[in-house]
Amino acid sequence: MLSYRISVDYMSAKSIILLFIKAPVRGQVKSRLAAAIGDETTLELYKNFILDIMDSVKKSGYPFRICYYPTDAGTDVSSWLAGQYRIMPQHGGDLGERMENAFIRCFSEGFERAILIGSDLPDLTPAVLQEALASLAENDAVIGPASDGGYYLIGFHKHTFTPQVFHGIPWSTESVFQETMTILQNSALSVHQTPKWNDVDTVEDLRALWQRSKDAEFDTSRTMMYLMNNEVLVKKVIS
């Protein structure tokens, strides 16, 4: 963890966190988990993932937006969140194009630093988000490697934004992180890496989350409470 001393108050005025989510609709989220634990249980679990990562985002002290997909789900997402948060649709044909367009929009609105995260890592801490944004005071880009070969976080300063990192990437493969790093390095950018983190995509990932969270701060989270109180998950994950 870098020991940056830039205050969140100073940085937050020109910084933003983009939280990418799928609209919480039964049968349309976390397909690998759903195959093992069912659509309804998966949907409720995913809602808890989002709410837990939102708690971390709020605790980081930075402004944020919830970027939802598909584009026509705005009413449902706003209703679910009781209209309390700033939301915006993801626009683009694939994940890369949607991420690129989200950065372009925020930089065009005057933000100078932006990081983008997914919603598959409910135990991500506020400290990681603070580290990522603070690192952009001294680096051109920041990226967070995921244990499955992808990345869970990426960010840029407005003047070093490099759309090429979103072009031609084989999304959802084990080479995403390395191919992205190659583009960043070939672009002669200074890149800070945040700690490796674990996405939760499968029952095995969920079990690993349970095991590493026992007696930790995340032990009292919505996700952990849901795990403990759901009979299906107790049988498949906890026991």
Separation CA 173–CA 189 (nearest Å): 24
151 bridge partner residues = 145
In this predicted structure, what is the pLDDT of residue 103? 98
Q: Within a 13 Å sphere around the CA of 153, how many CA atoms are in the beta-carbon half?
A: 31
Place 238 in a pLDDT band, splitting at 50, 70 and 90. Answer: confident
* Res 9 pLDDT > 80: no
In this predicted structure, what is the pLDDT of residue 83? 87
Give the right CATH number for 8-198 from 3.30.565.10, 3.30.70.20, 3.90.550.10, 3.40.50.150: 3.90.550.10
Place 205 in a pLDDT band, splitting at 50, 70 and 90. Answer: very high
Q: Would you list the domain boundaries of the chain?
A: 8-198
Which 3 state secondary structure label does DSSP give 112?
coil
Share of the chain above pLDDT 90, in %: 89
Query: What mean pLDDT do residues 36-56 have?
Result: 97
* Res 124 pLDDT > 60: yes
| CA torsion through residues 20, 125, 223, 120, sign | positive
Separation CA 44–CA 144 (nearest Å): 26
* Res 1 pLDDT > 50: no
Question: How do beta strands 191-193 and 141-145 pair?
Answer: parallel
CB count in 10 Å sphere of residue 115: 28
Reported as a single tens digit per residue, the pLDDT across 65-97 is 999 999 999 999 999 998 889 999 999 999 999
The tokens for 90 are 């993801």
Reported as a single tens digit per residue, the pLDDT across 131-160 is 999 999 999 999 999 999 999 999 999 999
CB-neighbour burial class of residue 116 (10 A; exposed 0-12, middle 13-18, buried 19+): buried
Question: How do beta strands 87-89 and 141-145 pair?
Answer: unpaired
Those residues with Cβ within 8 angstroms of residue 63's Cβ, 6 or more apart along the chain or in another chain: 12, 15, 16, 17, 86
Which residues of 118-198 form beta strands (DSSP E)? 141-145, 151-157, 191-193
In this predicted structure, what is the pLDDT of residue 11? 57
179 bridge partner residues = none
Share of the chain above pLDDT 70, in %: 95
